[in-house]
Structure 1
Amino acid sequence: MPEWSQQAEKLITTVSTKGQVILPKAIRQRREWDVGTRLIVEETPDGVLLKRAPAFAATRPDEVFGLLPFGGEPKSLEDMEAGVLSEARRRHDRD
C-alpha cells in the first residue's frame, strides 16, 4: 500500500459559488487525474468518495455475445486452437 494512503493528509479546499471544489494538485498527480478525468461521486457515512469512472460501462457476456458480424462457417475448437498456436509462433519467430 502506498505510504500516502496510510496517513491521511489534512488538506483544505473551498466550495465555490458554482458548487465546484478544487482538488489539491498533489492528490491529482498521485491519482493521475488529468484535466477531463471523469469521477464518480459517492456519498458515504464518512463523507464523499471520489473514484475514477470506468472508460466503458460494465457489461455481461450475454449482453455482447454475437454482436460482431461473422459471415463464414463456424470454427471448431480445434481450428481456433490451431489459429492461436499459429499466431503465437508467428509472434515468437519475429522476436
Structure 2
Amino acid sequence: METTRLSSKGQLILPKWLRDRYNWREGDEFIVIDTGHGVMLEPSRPFAPARLDEVMAIIAYDGPAYTVEEMDEAVAASFRKGDDDRD
C-alpha cells in the first residue's frame, strides 16, 4: 500500500501506476463522494448513459460490410500508429 500527502493547496498526488491503470490524465474530472469513513473518487462522465439503439442510430454506415479480421486489423493498426482520441 502506498501513501500520499495532502499539500497546502489541498491537492493529493495519485500514484503513476494507478493513473496509468485507469488511463487518467491531467484535466480529468472526478466526483468526490463522502462515504462517512473517507472519500471516494469517481471519474466524471461527460455524457449521460445511453441505450445501444440510441447510439447506433447516429453511426449509420451504408458501405460494404467489413469482416471481423478487417476490423481487428484496423484496431491493431490504430494502436501501432499510436492513435488516441483523448488529445
Q: TM-score range by the shorter chain?
A: 0.5 to 0.7
**2:46 is the alignment partner of 1:55:** yes
- Decide which moves more: 41-50 or 18-27: 41-50
Moved over 3 A (4+): none
**2:22 is the alignment partner of 1:31:** yes
Which residue of the partner structure matches residue 11 of structure 1? 2
TM-score by length of 2: 0.55
Q: Percent identity?
A: 36
Which has the greater radius of gyration?
1
Letter paired with 1:30: R
TM-score by length of 1: 0.50
Gaps of 5+ in 1: 1-9, 60-83
Higher helix share: 1
Matched residue count? 59
Gaps of 5+ in 2: 50-56, 68-87
Q: CA RMSD in A?
A: 2.9
Which residue of the partner structure matches residue 65 of structure 1? none
Distance 1:54 1:94 in 2: 31
Letter paired with 1:22: I
